Amino acid sequence: MANGICVFAEHYNGNVETVVSELVSAAHFIQETTKEKISAVVVSHDCEGIIAQLKGLDFDEIYAVKTNKDYAFQDDAVSQVVADMIRTIDPSSVLVPATITGRSIFSRVAAKLGCGLTADCTELLVGTKEDGSYYIKQNKPSFGENVFVTIVTKDNVYPQMMTVRPGVYQPFEGTTEKEPEVKYLEVEVPESKVKVVEKRPAASNADSILAAETVVVGGRGTESEESFQLLKEFADSLDAAIGGTRPLVDTGFIPFEHQIGQTGYTIRPRICLSFGVSGAIQHTEGIKDTKLMIAVNQDEEAPIFNIADYGIVGDLNEILAKYLGK
């Protein structure tokens, strides 16, 4: 019978992604009720280096397949390996980072296993069936920003598989020196149909809303070219990242990766400066753990002021222009 909680140990350039630690926190929350073992799944040409980074995350077991080369971006091959690993491990649930890589690999894995996949979860809860067994309530926003739904995998369909958004769980802080049992699996790695022509480094972490200590957030009030240019200059002056609400993504001012809220990402910066954001709950859910929140809005009744540490009622263009000396 399926048993255990699996976490996909996503990594890039030899480094385990931060979101893996967040998924370990989610796994431990589930484990408090189900009492299942927590395991990691690793596919890498440098298994030893990846496993060394995972040992401080309190895993009970680590399952690994060592490849003869780096299969980054060759998700067709990796997905076959992961599917074969999960068949062998037979877990009751699999937690996956809701990243470009996680979505690409596990949409294929779900199809190969015939188990389904709930995408972009923002909360995982444990329910109990009449027979005493457990299931995971997979909560996520849906239909744009209009509803929050709970998805449950069909009875007797395993594993329950879900991607979880980065930032919605705190990174796990290990409390023990547990030594996980490492198991190498013999799994054939198929030839990929994807040819990697060139690799270019992504933008630095300083430009990532997940890593930035200071984030400047624009809302519907910054949709004009003039307003957004001022917002960008202001962010640059602070060496801050720029995030925004859905309207800024829809109009093309910022990429989806910088959308904050239930349909975007959850951030925990040291300082968040919000301009022209009304403060709808769909957005504020993504900034509720900010340490210092400063909001600027023309409407003194805007809900954003309810969660702000400091608020300024005024025209954002005038305020930004004055700060920038224009």
Claim to verify: residue 232 and residue 176 sit in the same structural domain: no
Q: What is the pLDDT of residue 147?
A: 79
Over the chain (326 residues), the average pLDDT of each successive run of 10 is 93 91 96 96 96 92 95 94 97 95 96 94 92 92 77 93 92 80 95 89 61 92 94 94 92 90 85 94 85 95 95 95 92
Other Cβ atoms less than 10 A from the Cβ of 315: the count is 14
Claim to verify: residue 270 and residue 135 sit in the same structural domain: no
Q: Write out pLDDT tens, residues 59-77.
A: 999 999 999 999 989 999 9
Claim to verify: residue 160 and residue 228 sit in the same structural domain: no
Q: Where is the domain boundary, 120, 152, 184?
A: 184
Domain assignment present for 197: no
- Rounded CA gap, 178 and 37, in Å? 13
Residue type, position 236, single letter: D
Domain assignment present for 196: no
Claim to verify: residue 217 and residue 178 sit in the same structural domain: no
- Rounded CA gap, 241 and 222, in Å? 16
DSSP 135-153: EEEEEEEETTTTEEEEE-P
Q: What is the pLDDT of residue 173?
A: 83
Q: What is the pLDDT of residue 205?
A: 46
DSSP state of 99: S
| pTM for the full predicted model | 0.79
Q: In sequence order, what are the residues at sequence separation of 6 or more whose Cβ sits closer than 8 angstroms to the Cβ of residue 168?
A: 22, 121, 122, 123, 266
Question: Can you give the residue range of the structural domain that contains 291?
Answer: 205-323
Claim to verify: residue 267 and residue 217 sit in the same structural domain: yes
Q: What is the pLDDT of residue 175?
A: 64
Claim to verify: residue 68 and residue 166 sit in the same structural domain: yes
Claim to verify: residue 177 and residue 68 sit in the same structural domain: yes
- Rounded CA gap, 314 and 290, in Å? 22
Between strands 147-151 and 123-128, the pairing is unpaired
Claim to verify: residue 149 and residue 235 sit in the same structural domain: no
CATH code, 215: 3.40.50.1220
DSSP 30-78: HHHHH---EEEEEEES-HHHHHHHHGGG--SEEEEEE-SS--TT-HHHH
Residue type, position 71, single letter: Y
Domain assignment present for 210: yes
Claim to verify: residue 164 and residue 266 sit in the same structural domain: no
Q: What is the pLDDT of residue 210?
A: 80
Q: What is the pLDDT of residue 282?
A: 81
CATH code, 31: 3.40.50.620
Tokens of 286: 């993504």
Q: Where is the domain boundary, 184, 214, 238?
A: 184
